[in-house]
Chain A
Amino acid sequence: MPTVIVNGIEVAIGEKERLNGIQAAERAGVEIPSYCWHPGLSVVASCRMCLVEAGKKDEKTGKIAMQPRLVPACQTPATDGTIFVTNSEKVKNSRAMVEEDLLLRHPVDCPICDKAGECNLQDFHFEYGQKERRADIKPFTSRRRSLGDTVTLFVDRCVMCSRCVRFTREISGTSELMVINRGAQEEIDVFRNDAGEIQFPLDNKLSGNVVDLCPVGALGDKDFLYKQRVWFMRSHDGVCANCSTGCSIKVEENQDRIYRLKPRENPHVNQWWMCDEGRYGWKHVHDSRRVTQLRRREKTGYAPLDWSRFAGELDQKLRQTGRLAAVVSPNLTVEEAYLLSTYIREIDSDALLAVGPVPVEGTDEKFPNGFTIHAEKCPNRKGVEAIVSRLSGGLLNWDDFLARVESEPVGAVWLTGGYHQPWNDTAIAEKFSGVKTLIVQDCFASPLWDRADYQIPAATFAEREGSYVNAKDRLQSFRWAIRPPAGVLTEGQLYWQLLKRPGLYRAAEVLQAVAREITYFTAAMEGVPEHGIDLKVNQLAEPTKTPAIVA
């Protein structure tokens, strides 16, 4: 095993691992500060914050030869016998110098900067900077200009790490951003005409990532700007529900109000990125049009119902109406889909189970680095389909289901929605005219909602708990980030109550049962790690590729 020595600590690294000094030091628990380096982007070694002393230990003689100059750790490969020293006087002085340099023209307007609290410049200056300013004191400047519809640039805060420029060149492949001017006059900008009007705005579908990449407060997200100080927010691991890519995300909220979504590193799904559609795809959660009142249709109109007695009443009703049908929305988690399907089949073993409409917009969009925005705009089609086909012995899609509802007598239909785009119209609602009891569980009113006998307000992705299976059969589990608005009970909790299980809905418990019962989910039996689990991992390889394994 190759061994790297960081400040005297020996760290073993993998035989084929290609780490740089920063990554190797991280293994040894040593932080090497940096601005320009990012694991997902090319190495430019220009910020010079990660300068360290490096050397090599001779394998045979054990002799140590150090390089006379400081080297950037981001650009120095960690191989067997490589030595990094990050705590010498020389290194400390060089970090203090870079910090001092970066603050020469920086406005130091932390009190009004959105990045304050999660700013590398702040943190590193606190840790490695000098204690007083030696350069001339210069009046505060704050020039701001827009780069596109979503991103704004605070010019004077920029430290010229060029991460954003490299992102638009290497990841999104759209190259909107560039460096203009030279030397200390350098600035980030987009192409403009002589009048200063933007000719090619930063408007690619991944543009929001440049704000996350910015190590300082130079790039601001217009949507988040001045909305919340970062230290007030709590961050929850989640999974984006906007398309079947299922990016790992962080949901950042304060007092049950979401302020922003950020990508969470996941090498198997989204690496470090997420698309703008997902990033801003949480607005429906706090939409004032969301339905939050549980109601029952009566002769004179709708009457509000109380949740405490609702489960009992509904259960009784369903057991009396005859043939049952349930439409399981691809917005539900695996666990919720399982609970609902189990419940319905428990009452009526012949019940119709179908998968709700799968919204598709355009075609899949693939970016140069492989990041894909899927056309399928729901998070869990694969998971729900696996549940429904296993529990009903076949897969019934939405269109076929509509045909069956029209032609066959059905006593009660339970529809689950949870879409943030409109998903039914009057014509579809008409098809349910023959249904005796129509139960609609949804976030927003729709023609079907207006026809329902029971209107059950539903939760959104940030309020749910459970697992989604993405387009590549990767199952990721997550917990709720915010509580649902008053009047809304999450689907999982309602189904849990209907199944007369004690206490609160516990998704992990349900997933264990699912894994035991349905082969597709077997891999999730031992629990789901942070980056999710590949459900195809237990399946045999296709015979054309490798010969079958002989036991």
Chain B
Amino acid sequence: MKNRCVPLRCTHPTKMPEYQPVLLAQVGKAESHTLRAYEQAGGYQALKKSLKEKTPKEVTEIVKASGLRGRGGAGFPTGLKWTFLPQNHPGPIYFCLNADESEPGTFNNRVLMEEDPHQVIEGLILSCYATNATTAYFYMRAEYPLAWQRMQRAVDECYAAGYLGKNILGSPYSLDIFLHRGAGAYICGEETGLIESLEGKRAWPRIKPPFPAVEGAFRKPTVVNNVETVACVRHIMDRGADWFKSIGVPPDPANPRDAGSYGPKLYCISGHINKPGCYEAPLGLTVTELIDRFGGGVWKNRKAKAAIPGGISMGLLTADEFHCPLDFNGPGKFGCLGLGTAAVVVMDEQTSMVDFLLNSCRFFSHESCGQCTPCREGTSWATKMMLRIKAGRGRLKDLDLLAEIGDTIGIMPGTTICGLADGAAWPIKNCIKKFRPELEAHIKRTNPSGWGETKAVPAMELVGIH
């Protein structure tokens, strides 16, 4: 357990007797990662049933009917994504499982892969069956050695037991899973960046269209789904679409573009709380509920100041906004980008927002792939300004420049190819909008003689950044 950098607590919610965890049901039990334990708990029954009784089309229809939305961050309806594949394609169709979980604060895929890998594989086989894919690439981030070992072992067990390979369980369907390890780049989690990286190239996201469903890995139709998404598919096939739809939040009638947020979700909570960890709850839980019921409250008897709703790229919620429901539609109402990966990072009242913003800017400038000019230069410029502010040489004008960078980079204004820049922009925008007085106070306090300067100032000598 040495490699665990985040204390994982994957416990069952005790104060919510009405909800029994599904995705985390086996987590914490002895030998939960082995095939024997998984089969004893009813594993691979959904696969057996589906392969025998359902056609791929029917599986797709069930997933579509369940209202399952992608758990990777964007929340795109999974069943709909599958139907974008060309009909009657001669093949091959590829399935890429996105296990490059690198959004700061997020570790739900890791829990699934380490503690219940067979659940992921069963979901993956079902998803591949539905999409007629006969090859699946399991793209895992390099920083997960235990998950890697356990997944590899699980895949080996599956081949031995006939769940993978030629004619699975006597059916005409065959599937091969290839585990592929990334090399530690955030951008490989972007679906076309992942495909490029898988092909052995630089993970520079591709221009869309064509979307991967039409032309993806090795120029063939490709589906890219998140680990948690396929784990959900396993349970949908096990318990039915109606069960899935009975959990979560129906669409907001005021928002015609909201497709509803159904099903269970793995919430990761970390930061300044007493019990950080990964918890399962129905979609629609509020931040307050998550902190109080699961996270054990803010640490050291302090008050919370802000929280990241779902991975650092989603923006920032102030403590007054903690009633925000964590469903696909919720954080957007509070000026955030979206639910993201539902990884909540709580900051207590002693946290400096200058530190938060510097950290966020530094992360994105480090992870920008460097393809599009506005993202490459905008993120690095923002980092340099934040470093200067942090060093006590900030100007009020810097905040305007930062806000301008935040408003102009990303796929929303159309200035970049992929969404990394949007992720970089949102914390900047939210932080400046919601915490401007604090940032201004910091600048005025630390730079009493120069905070009003509006002309260009000499750059600081920076090590490692140019």
A residues with a Cβ closer than 8 A to B are: 43-49, 51, 67, 69-72, 75, 93-94, 97-98, 101-102, 104-105, 132-139, 141, 159-160, 179, 181-186
Chain A residues with CB under 8 Å of B413's CB are 69-70, 94
Which of B56-64, B282-290, B305-313, B362-370 lines the interface with chain A?
Answer: B362-370
Which 8 pairs show the lowest CB-CB distances between chains A and B? A69-B414, A101-B377, A184-B380, A136-B459, A70-B414, A138-B459, A186-B370, A183-B368
Bitwise, B356-388 to A at CB < 8 A (1) or not (0) is: 000000000111111111101111110011001
Given contacts A101-B373, A135-B384, A185-B466, 10 further A-B contacts (CB under 8 A): A43-B207, A46-B371, A94-B408, A97-B408, A101-B378, A101-B381, A135-B459, A136-B457, A160-B371, A184-B466
Assess whether B158 is interfacial by the CB under 8 Å rule. no
Majority SS of interface residues in chain A?
Answer: loop
Within 8 A of A (CB), among B50-94: none
Q: Which residue of chain A lies nearest to B410 when distances are taken between CB atoms in the complex? A: A69
Measured in the bound complex, the distance between the Cα atoms of B374 and A51 in whole Å is 12
With A134-B401, A136-B458, A184-B465 as known contacts, state yes or no: A160 contacts B370, CB within 8 Å. yes
With A69-B411, A182-B368, A182-B370 as known contacts, state yes or no: A104 contacts B207, CB within 8 Å. no
Contact A136 B384 (CB under 8 A): yes
> What are 30 A-to-B residue pairs whose CB atoms are below 8 Å?
A44-B207, A45-B417, A46-B371, A46-B373, A48-B416, A69-B411, A69-B413, A71-B414, A94-B408, A97-B374, A101-B374, A102-B373, A104-B381, A132-B456, A135-B456, A136-B384, A136-B388, A137-B457, A137-B459, A159-B373, A179-B202, A182-B185, A182-B368, A182-B369, A183-B366, A183-B376, A183-B379, A184-B377, A184-B380, A185-B466
B residues with a Cβ closer than 8 A to A are: 185, 202, 204, 207, 365-374, 376-381, 384-385, 388, 401, 408, 411-417, 456-460, 465-466
Measured in the bound complex, the distance between the Cα atoms of B462 and A141 in whole Å is 13
Measured in the bound complex, the distance between the Cα atoms of B416 and A72 in whole Å is 9
Contact B374 A98 (CB under 8 A): yes
Contact B456 A105 (CB under 8 A): no
Contact A135 B381 (CB under 8 A): yes
Measured in the bound complex, the distance between the Cα atoms of B381 and A11 in whole Å is 40
- Residue from A46, A70, A136, A139 within 8 A of B372 (CB atoms): A46
Chain B residues with CB under 8 Å of A141's CB are 466
Q: Which residue of chain B lies nearest to A98 when distances are taken between CB atoms in the complex? A: B373
Contact B373 A183 (CB under 8 A): no
Q: Which residue of chain B lies nearest to A103 when distances are taken between CB atoms in the complex? A: B377
Chain A residues with CB under 8 Å of B457's CB are 136-137
With A75-B207, A182-B369, A183-B369 as known contacts, state yes or no: A105 contacts B377, CB within 8 Å. yes
- Residue from A48, A132, A160 within 8 A of B415 (CB atoms): A48
Chain A residues with CB under 8 Å of B365's CB are 183-184
Contact B207 A45 (CB under 8 A): yes
Q: Which residue of chain A lies nearest to B466 when distances are taken between CB atoms in the complex? A: A105
- Residue from B202, B207, B373, B378 within 8 A of A47 (CB atoms): B373
Measured in the bound complex, the distance between the Cα atoms of B185 and A135 in whole Å is 28
Chain B residues with CB under 8 Å of A133's CB are 456
Q: Which residue of chain A lies nearest to B412 when distances are taken between CB atoms in the complex? A: A69
Q: From residue B78, how far is it (CB to closest CB) to chain A in Å?
A: 25
Measured in the bound complex, the distance between the Cα atoms of B456 and A101 in whole Å is 15
Chain B CB within 10 Å, residue with most, of A67, A133, A134, A179 = A134
Measured in the bound complex, the distance between the Cα atoms of B445 and A138 in whole Å is 25
Measured in the bound complex, the distance between the Cα atoms of B378 and A141 in whole Å is 20
Measured in the bound complex, the distance between the Cα atoms of B378 and A49 in whole Å is 14
Measured in the bound complex, the distance between the Cα atoms of B207 and A45 in whole Å is 7
Q: From residue A43, how far is it (CB to closest CB) to chain B in Å?
A: 7
Q: From residue B226, how far is it (CB to closest CB) to chain A in Å?
A: 24
With A183-B365, A183-B369 as known contacts, state yes or no: A51 contacts B414, CB within 8 Å. yes
With A71-B414, A134-B401, A136-B460 as known contacts, state yes or no: A48 contacts B374, CB within 8 Å. yes
Q: Which residue of chain B lies nearest to A43 when distances are taken between CB atoms in the complex? A: B207
Chain B residues with CB under 8 Å of A159's CB are 373
Chain B residues with CB under 8 Å of A105's CB are 377, 380, 466
Chain B residues with CB under 8 Å of A67's CB are 414
Q: From residue B407, how far is it (CB to closest CB) to chain A in Å?
A: 10
Measured in the bound complex, the distance between the Cα atoms of B424 and A183 in whole Å is 13
- Residue from A48, A137, A182 within 8 A of B458 (CB atoms): A137
Chain B residues with CB under 8 Å of A45's CB are 207, 417
Q: From residue A460, how far is it (CB to closest CB) to chain B in Å?
A: 44
Chain B residues with CB under 8 Å of A70's CB are 413-415
Measured in the bound complex, the distance between the Cα atoms of B207 and A132 in whole Å is 32
Chain A residues with CB under 8 Å of B460's CB are 136
Measured in the bound complex, the distance between the Cα atoms of B465 and A380 in whole Å is 56
Measured in the bound complex, the distance between the Cα atoms of B466 and A455 in whole Å is 63
Chain A residues with CB under 8 Å of B369's CB are 182-183
Q: From residue B376, how far is it (CB to closest CB) to chain A in Å?
A: 6
Chain A residues with CB under 8 Å of B372's CB are 46-48
Measured in the bound complex, the distance between the Cα atoms of B381 and A186 in whole Å is 15
Measured in the bound complex, the distance between the Cα atoms of B466 and A230 in whole Å is 30
Q: Which residue of chain B lies nearest to A46 when distances are taken between CB atoms in the complex? A: B371
Q: From residue A287, how far is it (CB to closest CB) to chain B in Å?
A: 45
Measured in the bound complex, the distance between the Cα atoms of B186 and A182 in whole Å is 11
Q: Which residue of chain A lies nearest to B383 when distances are taken between CB atoms in the complex? A: A184
Chain A residues with CB under 8 Å of B380's CB are 104-105, 183-184
Measured in the bound complex, the distance between the Cα atoms of B456 and A130 in whole Å is 14
Chain B CB within 10 Å, residue with most, of A72, A136, A179 = A136
Q: From residue B326, how far is it (CB to closest CB) to chain A in Å?
A: 28
Chain A residues with CB under 8 Å of B376's CB are 101, 160, 183-184, 186
Measured in the bound complex, the distance between the Cα atoms of B204 and A137 in whole Å is 30
Chain B residues with CB under 8 Å of A184's CB are 365, 368, 370, 376-377, 379-380, 465-466
Q: From residue B406, how far is it (CB to closest CB) to chain A in Å?
A: 12
Q: Which residue of chain B lies nearest to A156 when distances are taken between CB atoms in the complex? A: B466
Chain B residues with CB under 8 Å of A71's CB are 414
Contact A51 B415 (CB under 8 A): yes
Q: From residue B380, how far is it (CB to closest CB) to chain A in Å?
A: 4
Contact A104 B374 (CB under 8 A): no
Contact B373 A160 (CB under 8 A): yes
Q: From residue B67, how far is it (CB to closest CB) to chain A in Å?
A: 27
Measured in the bound complex, the distance between the Cα atoms of B369 and A370 in whole Å is 33
Chain A residues with CB under 8 Å of B373's CB are 46-49, 98, 101-102, 159-160
Q: From residue A276, how far is it (CB to closest CB) to chain B in Å?
A: 27
Chain B residues with CB under 8 Å of A138's CB are 458-459
Measured in the bound complex, the distance between the Cα atoms of B465 and A184 in whole Å is 8
Chain B residues with CB under 8 Å of A139's CB are 459
Q: From residue A179, how far is it (CB to closest CB) to chain B in Å?
A: 6
Chain A residues with CB under 8 Å of B408's CB are 93-94, 97
Measured in the bound complex, the distance between the Cα atoms of B377 and A186 in whole Å is 11
Q: From residue B378, how far is it (CB to closest CB) to chain A in Å?
A: 6
Chain A residues with CB under 8 Å of B456's CB are 132-137
Chain B residues with CB under 8 Å of A49's CB are 373
Q: From residue A35, how far is it (CB to closest CB) to chain B in Å?
A: 8
Measured in the bound complex, the distance between the Cα atoms of B393 and A190 in whole Å is 39
Contact B458 A102 (CB under 8 A): no
With A102-B377, A137-B457 as known contacts, state yes or no: A94 contacts B370, CB within 8 Å. no
Q: From residue B369, how far is it (CB to closest CB) to chain A in Å?
A: 6
Measured in the bound complex, the distance between the Cα atoms of B75 and A385 in whole Å is 71
With A48-B372, A137-B458 as known contacts, state yes or no: A97 contacts B415, CB within 8 Å. yes
Chain A residues with CB under 8 Å of B416's CB are 48
Q: Which residue of chain B lies nearest to A132 when distances are taken between CB atoms in the complex? A: B456
Q: From residue B463, how far is it (CB to closest CB) to chain A in Å?
A: 12
Chain A residues with CB under 8 Å of B384's CB are 135-136
Measured in the bound complex, the distance between the Cα atoms of B184 and A195 in whole Å is 25
Measured in the bound complex, the distance between the Cα atoms of B461 and A137 in whole Å is 11
Q: From residue B143, how far is it (CB to closest CB) to chain A in Å?
A: 16
Measured in the bound complex, the distance between the Cα atoms of B455 and A134 in whole Å is 7
Q: Which residue of chain B lies nearest to A54 when distances are taken between CB atoms in the complex? A: B414
Chain B residues with CB under 8 Å of A135's CB are 381, 384, 456, 459
Measured in the bound complex, the distance between the Cα atoms of B459 and A137 in whole Å is 5
Q: From residue A98, how far is it (CB to closest CB) to chain B in Å?
A: 5
Contact A44 B412 (CB under 8 A): no
